[in-house]
Structure 1
């Protein structure tokens, strides 16, 4: 899947959305820093567009707002019931080069589809709170290999393999291969904003 996007414009729109979310709640920078675990100085830089947020940082901020990452990105870009590939919001993690494309049309539906591409050798870490508003999440590898580690358990996935996530834990996506790994994520948001997944049976 080819990806052409204006990275500077995407960062500017994301910065404005993050600030709007904070102001809509009447929070100060210090309030958000306390709730998210992200320093006040970093929050300020991100909101002013002076720093590009990493995937881990966005995970913490979206969790503080009670949003999934997909919800956050959907609010950055508008749209109708169909999102053409040229209209789908794309974001690049400045730290790892990870690409994230929101496939689902915005509009508040509980199911979200996300396409990801992780460069060779890259790792992306998400804190447990980033999954606290998700009822179910599954990942299927389209190309390459992917190691997803939840807590202390690593899952080695190859093309066609699918993993269903367990309860919220610190999670790392790692591409140990020599070529980019592409995968699809299906996310079902919890109806009441809390985690609703059953503890998996071992």
Structure 2
């Protein structure tokens, strides 16, 4: 498989940082949280939250996941276009890319934003040997996530259980526990993340 990450044209970092900044500000206002309250809920320092909201920081995926958990939203929600739109199509060329400064993994929000879609789809390109661990907790309503491997191999650990997924495999989970993603191979893995809010509790 061609190493797509090395050939991708990254979206301007400033534009993405400003988009994330506005989304965090808007979601915090919607939740009625002060910076101090969000800091307590997320485990992210007030100073870091302030930098993120001003677009003056390039936070890692782990930090953004903590912020999303504190806001009771999904990580994908932080990358949505804050501008209202009724366009039912998200053109490929308009889907901004974001690269985690720690692991180097690249994510692309595929689903059109601001349409209130019940399901979100994200494409991820995960570098060889990279690893990311999220300390996720339960959201309300419950958030279900499916990982569908399009190319390559990924090890996904939920709590203390590790699942090895190969091309074509699909894993379903709920965002309510620590999760770790690891690419144990020498090749980039590509997978889709499908995220859905559930109206009632779910169990495997």
TM-score interval, smaller chain: 0.7 to 0.9
Structure 2 residue 51 is matched with structure 1 residue 45: yes
Structure 2 residue 69 is matched with structure 1 residue 63: yes
Structure 2 residue 181 is matched with structure 1 residue 173: yes
Q: Structure 1 residue 197: deviation in Å?
A: 4.2
Look up the match of 1:126: 134
Q: Structure 1 residue 61: deviation in Å?
A: 1.2
Superposed, which structure 2 residues align to 1:13-162 within 5 Å?
13-76=19-82, 79=85, 80-106=87-113, 107-129=115-137, 133-162=141-170
SS in 2 for 1:185: strand
C-alpha distance 77-162 of structure 1, shift in aligned 2 (>3 A): farther
Normalised to the residue count of structure 1, the TM-score between the two structures is: 0.87
Gap regions ≥5 residues in structure 1: none
Look up the match of 1:199: 203
Q: Structure 1 residue 27: deviation in Å?
A: 2.8
**Aligned partners of 1:55 and 1:125 also within 8 Å:** no
Alpha-carbon RMSD across the aligned residues, in angstroms, is 2.1
Pairs aligned (count): 196
Mapped partners of 2:81, 2:9: distance in 1 = 20
Q: Structure 1 residue 128: deviation in Å?
A: 2.1
C-alpha distance 99-163 of structure 1, shift in aligned 2 (>3 A): same
Alpha-carbon deviations, 1:59-106, whole Å to 9, x = none? 121122221122332244655100110111321111111111111112
Alpha-carbon deviations, 1:91-136, whole Å to 9, x = none? 1111111111111112111111110011111111122227664442
Normalised to the residue count of structure 2, the TM-score between the two structures is: 0.86
**Aligned partners of 1:127 and 1:171 also within 8 Å:** yes
Gap regions ≥5 residues in structure 2: none
**Aligned partners of 1:138 and 1:162 also within 8 Å:** yes
